[in-house]
């Protein structure tokens, strides 16, 4: 039937899809030749820069030394030449405004000469600082339009890279984005500040242990989940195009209950797409390592080897963008939304996080010597205390309309932030708390500075997939992060809260040591106190269970069920004091972020509700009316032929009519609540969106989804869940 052409054409196009066979193949270009070829890396700099310039820039990158403008000039010239050799005509300061996406404004290398010609020019000035006319980015009240300019500042700790396009290439320079008054307008600036704070406090602790590291940095390895569906289906779904998720769709007869997708064989087209994505990412120096099918049909995961958290954050943005770009070449559409399909597993991002010194030692790895173990226990205690004290901020770091569909929906961890440590480590922690007097399951007693920790199983945490924050042998895994989110936010919160905890620990230990006490004895004395302060946040059981929710409440752990409940924690006095003390956010910056994030929530719900009205009214209702009239016609035909229509057919007509009526009245109700003026500011509006608009939207959806189960298939206009998830 022609009424449902978009959907049926989509199915035909999917079936007819053929690979074009034009792409680079790993067989012809091995990884070794590809990895990092588009990165202005350490190696490129070493081979192209004069030695003293190379040393100076390395000093800036590794130790944070200030950058001499003369050095910047030389680096800029060399970078430009390198980029032009790689076909670049333009450069861009690549930054991450509060939209959660990346932004770029391209400038060509051309500069006019006095003689009226043009030459390729790019100096230290252009490298170090840019002035995008960025007045349209939301600043949460930090800038008014008359002082709208912000500037971008080069981040030399994340390498510049070349982005390829079939017709040319662009040099991309990772930058921070600030207002003229120096206030952060982006995700990178506070991340860098938090890394600075963390390094400073961690070094104080390391120094007590006699280490001579000169920098500590957080490491991050985000495991990224995503969906791929055929582009033809995507184009036939206005909700996917505009909201990133389906706002309608009845549950298919076959969902994920057979679990036949997880780790299953990857389809040929999807695998081809993955291979090309990886090839592009290798060129950009992104060390992607694993790929597999995920739990839901059409869902997959990609994970890199961990890197310094700043570079890992930039690289995760590149992963998301590259996946999207390459998917298009294979007729596929990438869906990064946390919950593209109701009733089907959503997508998250497991952010693995640890601490490393500049010699590459993992500070959260239990060591082989008593000395290493004492140090490990101190850092472990620091993280536990931090999460116990500021779980609400970690929750706020992942608060986002899309993630509200996952958290607490028994597929992702609940919104209650607890820490999983596993049986063995729990036993050690218990023993330390009791003063090292009891013998452990793993044998012996724990005396700091004397005992060696038993080898902890590396996969202990992997068996408990329900925990939002799990210790997995030598790192923590923050599992509640949304798939589409930048990992800058979760990282910077972790860095800051752990910096505070390390600061307090260092202060206590420094005081004892300077008054002549033995470090190990002091740690042995203080560990029980630190553990006692934080043990209420440890939970090794099933985080999905009802019993845990009740238990968490008894323990006083916050349970912020929605974005709207969580975001106000960002501007609580405790948060303002913390971020202010470590120079990560000023109070004004925190308020600005609070406003931007809440407004983003309101805009998201607003777009979704308008779309719901539009699709229900203009796509679903007409299809239902057509079918209603077909059924009515059939009944009257029977009557005209002297046949008594069966009561079931009349029931069908009645059911259709009643559901159509429901749909129409619910559309009207939703349209009305959308138009309501809400006074009282952004937070009041967000509460209204959550309590009034979302329920009204769900009511429309229910009627629409019921119609999907009634209306004739050949009249149904929207690609169904079954088609989108299973036709590949
Ligand atoms: P699995 O969890 O499947 O056993 P891995 O332990 O290799 O896999 O790690 C999963 C993710 O954690 C990968 O992205 C990996 O790079 C990252 N990861 C491993 N070690 C660290 C670390 N020290 N810091 C941050 N991330 C890490
Ligand atoms: Mg994992």
Q: Please give the pLDDT value at position 307.
A: 97
* Pocket probe mutation, ligand 1, options 221, 303, 360, max atoms within 8 Å of Cβ: 221
CB 108 within 8 A of CB 114: no
| Alpha helix stretches (DSSP H) within 148-230 | 188-208
What is the predicted pLDDT for the residue at 457?
63
Q: Are 491 and 309 in contact (CB under 8 A)?
A: yes
Q: What are the tokens at 571?
A: 């501007």
Q: Please tell me the predicted confidence (pLDDT) of residue 437.
A: 43
Instruction: Give distance in angstroms: CA of 476 to centre of ligand 1.
Output: 9
Distance 213 CA to ligand 1 centre (A): 23
The tokens of 451 are what? 């005992």
Whole-model pTM? 0.94
Report which DSSP code applies to 3: G
d(CA 358, CA 215): 5
Question: Which runs of E-coded beta strand occur in 62-124?
Answer: 88-94, 106-108, 110-112, 118-120
Which residue out of 216, 306, 376 has the highest number of ligand 1 atoms within 8 Å of its CB and is therefore the one to mutate? Answer: 306
- For ion ligand 2, residues whose CB falls within 5 Å: 350
Q: Could you list the mean pLDDT of each consecutive 10-residue stretch along the chain, which spans 728 residues? A: 69 76 69 91 96 94 85 94 94 91 88 74 88 71 61 93 91 92 91 97 97 94 97 95 97 73 77 93 95 88 97 98 95 97 94 96 90 92 97 97 88 89 88 64 64 65 79 94 97 98 98 94 92 95 92 95 97 98 96 95 97 98 98 97 96 98 98 93 96 98 98 95 90
Q: What angle, rounded to 10 degrees, do the helices at 51-63 and 69-85 form?
A: 100
The closest residue, in CA terms, to atom 2 on ligand 1 is 462
Per-residue pLDDT, 151: 86
For the chain, the farthest-separated pair of C-alpha atoms sits apart, in whole angstroms, at: 107
> In angstroms, rounded to a whole number, what is the distance separating the alpha carbons of residues 441 and 428?
9
Report pLDDT for 463.
64
Find out whether the beta carbon of 364 lies less than 6 Å from any atom of ligand 1: no
The answer to whether residues 23 and 271 touch, using CB atoms and an 8 Å cutoff, is no
CB 339 within 8 A of CB 484: no
Q: How far apart are CA 558 and CA 537, in angstroms?
A: 10
DSSP helix, strand, coil percent of the chain (3-state; round to 5) = 50, 15, 35
- Strand residues in 263-396 grouped as ranges (E): 288-293, 299-304, 307-308, 332-335, 348-357
**Ligand in nearest proximity to the CA of 218:** 1
Please state, in angstroms and rounded to a whole number, the distance separating the CA atoms of residues 519 and 517: 6
Closest of 487, 88, 483 to residue 324, by C-alpha = 483
């Amino acid at each position: 039937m022609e009424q449902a052409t978009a959907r049926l054409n989509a199915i035909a196009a999917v079936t007819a899809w053929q690979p074009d066979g034009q792409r680079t193949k790993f067989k012809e270009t091995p990884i070794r030749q590809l990895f990092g070829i588009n990165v202005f890396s350490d190696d490129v700099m070493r081979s192209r820069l004069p030695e003293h310039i190379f040393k100076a820039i390395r000093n800036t990158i590794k130790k944070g030394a200030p950058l001499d403008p003369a050095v910047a000039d030389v680096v800029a010239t060399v970078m430009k030449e390198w980029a032009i050799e790689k076909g670049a005509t333009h450069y861009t300061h690549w930054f991450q405004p509060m939209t959660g996406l990346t932004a770029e404004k391209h400038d060509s290398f051309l500069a006019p000469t006095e003689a009226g010609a043009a030459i390729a020019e790019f100096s230290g000035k252009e490298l170090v600082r840019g002035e995008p006319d960025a007045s349209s980015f939301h600043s949460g009240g930090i800038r008014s339009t008359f002082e709208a300019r912000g500037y971008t500042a080069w981040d030399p700790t994340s390498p510049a890279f070349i982005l390829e396009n079939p017709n040319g290439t662009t040099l991309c320079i990772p930058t921070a984005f600030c207002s003229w008054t120096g206030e952060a307008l982006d995700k990178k600036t506070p991340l860098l500040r938090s890394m600075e704070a963390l390094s400073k406090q961690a070094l104080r602790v390391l120094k007590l242990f006699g280490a001579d590291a000169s920098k500590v940095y957080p490491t991050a390895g985000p495991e990224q989940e995503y969906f791929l569906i055929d582009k033809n289906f995507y184009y036939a779904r206005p909700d996917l195009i505009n909201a990133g998720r389906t706002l309608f769709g009845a549950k298919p007869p076959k969902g994920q209950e057979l679990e036949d997708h997880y780790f299953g064989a990857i389809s040929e087209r999807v695998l081809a797409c993955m291979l090309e994505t990886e090839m592009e990412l290798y060129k950009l120096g992104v060390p992607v390592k694993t790929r597999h099918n995920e739990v839901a049909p059409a869902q997959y995961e990609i994970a890199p080897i961990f890197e310094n958290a700043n570079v890992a954050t930039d690289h995760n943005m590149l992963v998301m963008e590259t996946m999207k770009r390459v998917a298009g070449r294979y007729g596929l559409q990438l869906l990064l939304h946390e919950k593209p399909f109701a009733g089907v597993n959503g997508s998250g991002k497991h952010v693995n996080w640890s601490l490393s010194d500049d010699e590459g030692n993992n500070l959260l790895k239990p060591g082989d010597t008593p000395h290493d173990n004492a140090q490990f226990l101190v850092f472990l205690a620091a993280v536990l205390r931090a999460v116990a004290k500021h779980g609400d901020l970690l929750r706020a770091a992942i608060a986002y309309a899309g993630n509200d569909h996952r958290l607490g929906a028994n597929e992702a961890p609940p919104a209650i932030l607890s820490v999983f440590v596993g049986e063995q480590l729990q036993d050690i922690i218990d023993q330390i708390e009791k003063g090292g007097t009891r013998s452990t399951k793993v044998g012996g007693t724990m005396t700091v500075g004397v005992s060696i920790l038993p080898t902890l199983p590396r996969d202990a945490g992997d068996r408990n997939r329900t925990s939002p924050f799990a210790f997995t042998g030598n790192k923590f895994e923050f599992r509640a992060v949304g798939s589409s989110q930048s990992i800058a936010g979760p990282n910077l919160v972790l860095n800051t809260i752990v910096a505070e905890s390390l600061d307090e620990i260092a202060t206590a230990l420094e005081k004892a040591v300077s008054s002549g006490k033995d470090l190990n004895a002091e740690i042995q004395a203080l560990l029980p106190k630190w553990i006692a302060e934080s043990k209420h946040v440890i939970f090794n059981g099933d985080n999905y269970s009802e019993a845990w929710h009740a238990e968490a409440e008894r323990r006083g752990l916050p349970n912020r069920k929605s974005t709207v409940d969580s975001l106000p924690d960002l501007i609580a006095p405790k948060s303002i004091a913390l971020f202010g003390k470590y120079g990560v956010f000023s109070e004004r910056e925190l308020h600005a972020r609070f406003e931007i994030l809440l407004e983003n929530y309101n805009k998201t719900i607003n777009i979704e509700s308008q779309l719901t009205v539009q699709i229900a009214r203009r796509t679903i209702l007409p299809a239902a009316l057509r079918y209603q009239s077909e059924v009515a016609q059939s009944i009257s035909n029977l009557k005209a032929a002297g046949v008594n229509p069966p009561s079931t057919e009349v029931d069908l007509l009645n059911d259709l009519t009643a559901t159509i009526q429901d749909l129409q009245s619910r559309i009207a109700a939703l349209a009305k609540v959308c138009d309501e003026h809400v006074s009282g500011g952004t937070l009041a509006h967000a509460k209204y969106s959550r309590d009034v608009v979302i329920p009204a939207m769900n009511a429309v959806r229910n009627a629409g989804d019921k119609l999907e189960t009634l209306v004739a298939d050949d009249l149904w206009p929207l690609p169904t869940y079954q088609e989108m998830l299973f036709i590949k």
